[in-house]
Amino acid sequence: MKTFIYMVRHGDSPKDGNERTRELTEKGRIDAQRITDILQKEEIDIVISSPYSRSILTVQKVAEQIEKEVNVFEDLKEQTFIAGDKRISDKELYPLLEKSFSDPTYALAGGESNADCQKRAIKVLKELLNTYQGKKVVIGTHGAVMTLMMSFFDSKYDLNFLLHTTKPDIYRMEFDGQGLVDVKRLWKT
């Protein structure tokens, strides 16, 4: 029985502010509607999201379209790079990503390693694959945690993959049981 997981990376959001509460820019809101239009053809059964506002807002209209609520899972939040809910600057983030992808146990003080982030997120993803077997599940997500979940099943989803994703982005992952069968990018820039 095939299960489909749609990884939906959030749309564009303001560069400053709290990690949890940053919403979407005007472009992000327009792109969220495009995501809804794309996913309308997929016959989605359930919508899940990270607890961060920008992820919820990116998939909210998909949930409304199927007359369901967005189910929020704390452990699908973005990787914690530094202590607190402040955003790390892009200038600081790239070297950190390089180091953490070369050493999965590396983390800044108060931050989370790739290994730890992947472990917590994969636990949820496996639960979703069991609970919604044979269904089509949208997950509102973030770049790093999405890449780490995908790389659990196939190592080609690495730093280079992450750096070439867009905001937003959509990847349809096809599973047979707990095994990844295929991945197709649905977002067109």
Check residue 87 and give its pLDDT. Answer: 72
Distance CA 82, CA 79 (A): 9
pLDDT higher than threshold 80 for residue 172: yes
In the predicted structure, residue 24 carries a pLDDT above the cut 70: yes
User: Is the Cβ–Cβ distance between 35 and 8 less than 8 Å?
Assistant: yes
For 112, the token pair is: 């989370």
pLDDT at residue 189 above 90?
Answer: no
SS3 7: strand
pLDDT greater at residue 189 or residue 143: 143
pLDDT at res. 108: 87
Name the band, by pLDDT with cuts 50, 70 and 90, for residue 82.
confident
- Residue 67 φ/ψ region, left for φ over 0, alpha for ψ in the -120 to 50 degree band, beta for the rest: left
Q: Which of 19, 18, 56, 65 is CA-nearest to residue 38?
A: 65
Segments making up each domain of the chain, as ranges: 2-185
Q: How far is CA 6 from the centre of its chain?
A: 9
CATH topology (fold) of 2-185: Rossmann fold (3.40.50)
**pLDDT tens-digit readout, 28-81:** 999 999 999 999 999 999 999 999 999 999 999 999 999 999 999 999 999 998
Mean pLDDT of the chain: 95
Give me Rg for the CA atoms of the chain: 15
Give percent above pLDDT 70 in the chain. Answer: 99
